[in-house]
């Protein structure tokens, strides 16, 4: 199975490295000319994944048309750009493996739903989990959820990607796998705020547990399964990104917690903090589904500039309730 990768950021490059193990050819589309040159000439992605020696069997291209010879495509553009990039790609019935974590603004669609709308004949899979790109690219042990409704395709993709340091777990819950990754980014911002504002480790643990309850409520309301949310793509990724400054979302929150504005923090960054884009659309989607998500709503307020003391005070002053509700 020849794999193509759409997106030459940190995660697309790390996944290309996984797919290239054993000197197998991988074609990676990158939007930036400097990234294409850097990968083809020096076998590094100096812009988005510095310090990692890439397999020479990864070839980069700036032309989406070249991907037409691939047997499956890993889609690793940021969530808000997936529609535009896929619209320019001839896909037909080639399987698409969605690897971005987010919800599309405006439509409130999950990335897999966007892809299905653009290419109705393409089978859809989702790859998600606790996966810092640098660690994956360096071959450090990592496990992911690989979700696909078609058991044959799921197992072919798992066999193609699995290796000593990369272990996919099979699931047929595509929606559940996507929602975990999208929601955890918003919760990671909240945990960064707690760290930046010095609110303590108890508060962070409370946010992880109550945030997980929100993620599960929303995921189940959207048709996912609670057990998927409790797996690698949900709880696993939540634990990772809520506890590390290596997370772009956590570090965005850290800056907010230290009193900087979201606008200033997001300006000029070349890397993506998906939670900043997901938070407002998640607030809308939760309201539409009739799901209470107070922590995620609080992150929206903070991104919009509300003072931390007021936001935290309002969260804690809500009426007391049963934990399981």
CA distances (Å), origin 138, targets 16, 35, 129, 213, 245: 12, 19, 17, 33, 18
> Is 166 among the residues that bind ligand NAI (CB under 6 A)?
no
Give min distance, CB of 131 to ligand 13P, in A.
4
Is position 258 annotated in a ligand binding site? no
Is 11 annotated for ligand binding?
Answer: yes
Q: How far apart are the first and last CA of the chain?
A: 46
* Residue 79 touches ligand 13P, criterion: CB under 6 A: no
| Residue 95 burial by Cβ neighbours in a 10 Å radius (0-12, 13-18, 19+) | buried
What b/e sequence results for 108-132 when a residue is b if at least 16 CB atoms lie within 10 Å of its CB, and e otherwise? Answer: bbbbbbbbbebbeebbbbbbbbbbb
Nearer to ligand 13P, 123 or 250 (CB): 250
* Under rule CB under 6 A, residue 173 binds ligand NAI: no
Query: Is position 139 an interface residue for ligand NAI (rule: CB under 6 A)?
Result: no
SS3 105: coil
**Residue 129 is assigned to a ligand binding site:** yes
Least distance CB 54 / ligand NAI (angstroms): 14
Q: Other C-beta atoms within 10 Å of 102: how many?
A: 27
> Was 107 annotated as part of a binding site?
no
Nearest to 10 by CA among 131, 125, 148: 131
**Location of structure tokens 């990754």:** 181
Q: Which of 184, 204, 217, 283 is catalytic?
A: 184
Runs of H (alpha helix) within 54-110: 82-87
The answer to whether 184 is a known ligand-binding residue is yes
Residue 184 a catalytic site member: yes
Nearest to 297 by CA among 218, 205, 231, 204: 218
Residue numbers 255-274 binding ligand 13P by CB under 6 A: 274
Minimum CB distance to ligand NAI, residue 212 (Å): 19
**Pattern 116-155, ligand 13P, x by CB under 6 A:** --------------xxx-----------------------
φ and ψ at residue 183, rounded to 5 degrees: -75, -35
Lay out the site mask for ligand NAI across 230-269 (x = CB under 6 A, - = otherwise): ----------------------------------------
Build a one-symbol-per-residue string for 43-72: x at contacts with ligand NAI by CB under 6 A, - elsewhere.
-----x------------------------
Query: Who's near 2: CB < 8 A, 6+ residues apart?
Result: 24, 25, 26, 27, 69, 70, 71
SS3 content of the chain, % helix, strand, coil (to 5): 50, 15, 35
Question: What is the C-alpha separation between 260 and 255, in angstroms, rounded?
Answer: 6
Query: Which listed range, 64-72, 128-136, 161-169, 222-230, lies at the site for ligand NAI (CB under 6 A)?
Result: 128-136
Q: Does 100 bind ligand NAI (CB under 6 A)?
A: yes
Q: Does 249 bind ligand 13P (CB under 6 A)?
A: yes
274 in a known ligand binding site: yes
Residue 206: which of 309, 115, 130, 315 has the closest Cα? 315
Structure tokens at 159: 């066999």
Known binding-site positions for sn-glycerol 3-phosphate: 101, 129, 131, 184, 237, 247-249
The catalytic residues are 184
Point out which residues bind ligand 13P (CB under 6 A).
101, 130-132, 185, 188, 237, 240-241, 247-249, 274
Which residue ranges make up the site for ligand NAI (CB under 6 A)?
7-12, 31-32, 48, 76-79, 81, 85, 99-102, 131-133, 271-272, 274
């Amino acid at each position: 199975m020849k794999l193509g990768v759409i997106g030459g950021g940190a995660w697309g490059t790390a996944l290309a490295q996984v797919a290239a193990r054993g000197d197998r050819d991988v074609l990676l589309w990158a939007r930036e000319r400097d990234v294409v040159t850097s990968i083809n000439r020096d076998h590094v992605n100096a812009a988005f994944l510095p310090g990692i020696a890439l397999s020479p069997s990864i070839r980069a291209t700036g032309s989406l048309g070249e991907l037409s010879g691939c047997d499956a495509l890993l889609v690793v553009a940021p969530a808000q750009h997936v529609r535009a990039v896929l619209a320019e790609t001839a896909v037909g019935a080639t399987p698409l493996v969605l690897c971005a974590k987010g919800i599309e603004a405006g439509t409130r669609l999950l990335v897999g739903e966007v892809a299905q709308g653009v290419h109705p004949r393409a089978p859809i899979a989702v790859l998600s989990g606790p996966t810092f790109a640098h660690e994956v690219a360096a071959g450090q042990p990592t496990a992911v959820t690989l979700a696909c409704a078609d058991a044959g395709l799921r197992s072919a993709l798992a066999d193609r990607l699995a290796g000593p340091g990369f272990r996919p777990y099979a699931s047929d819950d595509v929606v559940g796998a996507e929602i975990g990754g999208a929601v955890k980014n918003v919760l990671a911002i909240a945990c960064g705020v707690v760290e930046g504002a010095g609110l303590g480790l108890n508060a962070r643990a409370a946010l992880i547990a109550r945030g997980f309850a929100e993620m599960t409520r929303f995921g189940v309301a959207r048709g996912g399964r609670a057990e998927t949310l409790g797996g690698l793509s949900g709880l696993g990724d939540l634990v990772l990104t809520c506890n590390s400054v290596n997370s772009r979302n956590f570090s965005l929150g850290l800056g907010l917690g230290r009193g900087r504005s979201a606008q200033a923090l997001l300006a000029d960054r070349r890397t993506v903090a998906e939670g900043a884009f997901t938070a407002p659309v998640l607030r809308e989607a939760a309201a539409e589904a009739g799901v209470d998500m107070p922590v995620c709503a609080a992150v929206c307020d903070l991104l919009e500039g509300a003072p931390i003391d007021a936001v935290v005070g309002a969260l804690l002053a809500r009426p007391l309730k049963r934990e399981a509700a």
